[in-house]
Copies of this chain bind each other. A is one copy, B any other.
Amino acid sequence: MSDLTVNLAGIKMKNPVMSASGTFGSGVEYASVFDVSKMGALVTKGLTKEPKAGNKSPRICETPAGLLNAVGLQNPGVEVFIRDYLPEMLEFGVPVIANIAGSTGDEFVYLAERLTQTGVAGLEVNISCPNVKTGGMALGTVPEVAAEVVKAVVQATDLPVIVKLTPNVTDIKELAQAVAAAGADAISLINTLVGMVIDVDKRKPFLGNCIGGLSGPAIRPVGVRAVWEVSQLVDLPVIGMGGITTGRDALEYIMAGASAVAVGSAFFYDPLAAVKIIDELDQYCTDHGVEKLQDLVGAAWKEK
């Protein structure tokens, strides 16, 4: 067994493989499928202050090597989450990171304060959701706006603050620098790409919400490139995600500069994807004499 551990901005993980927000429920859904306590960390679905009903059906549309989703942040609200879901998530004995999705800066501050001292190990600030009318991506495309939100969240909590960015921008580097300067402890890359499918038979958009977020292997090259760019520029740990389905995919992200990786859509393809990835990372280290997986972070630009 090689050393797969990572200390991500103070969050100690036994390996770098996390669940991607919104794809893993509260973990219990997969508890009978595999040993969830093997994961490096769990990330919750995006949380809001009040319960949110989400978008109308259909919410899922398969696309070549991926899918569009337009869930619209359906969640029970932060109170019910803390009462009914968080305890069972914490039972896995794995760091739980709360993904927060305010529609205003104030809501973000509320969520950050409320979740501090509840047992969660960190916050992931979701200013990148393409499926909501207010907040979401709108807060994550202008550097000044993003920085303001992040600054407020950082002040409201002593938890590590991870900021999740959208790839739907002209220059992700600019945003990464802005949130880094605002005090972020880590950066998650990437949320989904905005996309759309037309139902040719009905001659209208397939999804209830018209547009959706594109995820899965299809977007992997976009995510790898975002990590490559940001990790070279900003001195913060990066969590890479977008289409990771195998250990090699995870290694692409790690070599591009990610300290940790998240698995999302791959659970739909293979519910055992995350555990297989952990095993494959271990195997790779063994086969290639890598003592500490973290030594490979950024290898593709460090060894150039």
Q: Which A residues lie at the B interface, using CB under 8 A?
A: 63-66, 68, 141, 168-171, 193-198, 200, 203-205, 210-212, 214, 216-222, 224-225, 228, 243, 248, 251-252, 255-256, 296, 299-300, 303-304
B256, A198: Cβ atoms under 8 Å? yes
- Residue numbers in B under 8 Å from A169 (CB-CB): 169-170
Flag if A200 contacts B65 (CB, 8 Å): no
User: Are A196 and B225 interface neighbours, CB within 8 A?
Assistant: yes
Task: Known A-B contacts: A193-B221, A196-B228. Give 16 more (CB < 8 A).
Answer: A63-B217, A65-B217, A66-B218, A169-B169, A170-B170, A193-B222, A194-B225, A195-B221, A195-B224, A196-B225, A197-B221, A198-B255, A200-B251, A200-B252, A203-B299, A210-B228
Most B-side CB within 10 Å, residue of A64, A65, A193, A204: A64
Cα distance, A217 to B62, chains bound together (Å): 12
List chain B residues, Cβ under 8 A from A216. 64
Q: Which residue of B is nearest A256, CB measured?
A: B198
Cα(A22)–Cα(B195), bound, Å: 24
